[in-house]
Amino acid sequence: MIVHSSVWPSHSPARVSIIGAGKVGSTLAQRIVEKNIADVVLLDVVPGLAEGMALDLMQARGIERCVRASVPEAYRFIFGTNNYADTADSNVVVITAGSPRKPGMSRDDLLQVNATIVVEAAKKAIAHSPEAILLVVTNPLDVMTYLAWQASGLPPQRIVGMAGGLDSARFQAFIAMELGVPTVDVSAMVLGSHGDLMVPLPRYCTVSGIPIAELMDNATIERLVERTRNAGAEIVQLLQTGGAYFTPAATTCLMVESILFNQSRLMPVSAYLQGEYGLKDIFIGVPCRLGSIGVESVLELNLTETERAALHFSAESVLKNIHRANEMLGVKLGNN
Which of 134, 145, 95 has the alpha carbon at shortest distance from 272?
145
HSE toward the beta carbon, residue 40, CA cutoff 13 A: 34
Annotated catalytic residue 194: yes
Alpha-carbon torsion 210, 216, 222, 223, what sign?
A: negative
Answer left, alpha or beta for residue 269, where phi above 0 means left and psi between -120 and 50 means alpha. Answer: beta
Q: Is 42 left (phi over 0), alpha (psi -120 to 50) or beta?
A: beta
Cis-peptide, bond into residue 140, ω within 30° of zero:
yes
Which of 4, 11, 128, 194 is flagged as catalytic?
194
Which amino acid does the sequence have at 112? Q
Q: Nearest CA to 253 among 9, 10, 24, 7?
A: 24
Please tell me the distance from the alpha carbon of residue 143 to that of residue 148, in angstroms, as a whole number.
9
Q: State the catalytic residues.
A: 194
